[in-house]
Amino acid sequence: MPNVKGKSLKALTLDIAEGYTTVNPIFLKLFEPEQLKEIYKEISITQNDIRAGRFPTNDLTAIRMRNLKLQRLFSASMIIRNFAKERRILLV
Q: Tens digit of pLDDT for each residue in 14-66?
A: 999 999 999 999 999 999 999 999 999 999 999 999 999 999 999 999 999 99
Kindly tell me the burial class for residue 27, based on how many C-beta atoms sit within 10 Å of its own C-beta (0-12, 13-18, 19 or more). Answer: middle
Assigned domain for 47 exists:
yes
Q: What are phi and psi of 76, to 5 degrees?
A: -65, -40
How many separate domains does the chain show? 1
Structural domain containing residue 20:
3-87
Assigned domain for 24 exists:
yes
Kindly tell me the burial class for residue 5, based on how many C-beta atoms sit within 10 Å of its own C-beta (0-12, 13-18, 19 or more). Answer: exposed
pLDDT at residue 3, rounded to an integer: 72
pLDDT at residue 87, rounded to an integer: 94
